[in-house]
Amino acid sequence: MSDKTEKQPTQKQEAKQKSAMWLALDIAYELGYLIALPIVVLGFGGAFLDKKFGTSPIFILSGIVLSFIITSVGAFRKIKDITDKINLIK
């Protein structure tokens, strides 16, 4: 008979895996909103202002550029927070 014992994960390892999974879901959720919200709000806001003032496409382009800047800064900060959390888990 072969005496191979399968190594069962400990409770600490299981908790760490669950924590990593929830962290990944949290990252996806937050980054999704961080990317989608500014472009939608500022894009539609720019389109509204362009119609109101007859300045097409100045405000919509400004809104898109501003949303890109907001998203870039927010993503940088979020990724920095994420890497700090990952380093704490390890």
User: Contact, 59 vs 53, CB < 8 A?
Assistant: yes
Tens digits of per-residue pLDDT, 28-39? 898 899 999 999
Domain residue ranges in the chain: 11-89
Residue that wins the pLDDT comparison between 13 and 77: 77
Distance, CA of 41 to CA of 66 (rounded, Å): 11
Q: For the chain, what is the largest distance between any 2 Cα atoms, rounded to a whole number of angstroms?
A: 84
> pTM of the full predicted structure?
0.72
User: Contact, 89 vs 23, CB < 8 A?
Assistant: yes
> Quick one: what percent of the chain has pLDDT higher than 90?
52
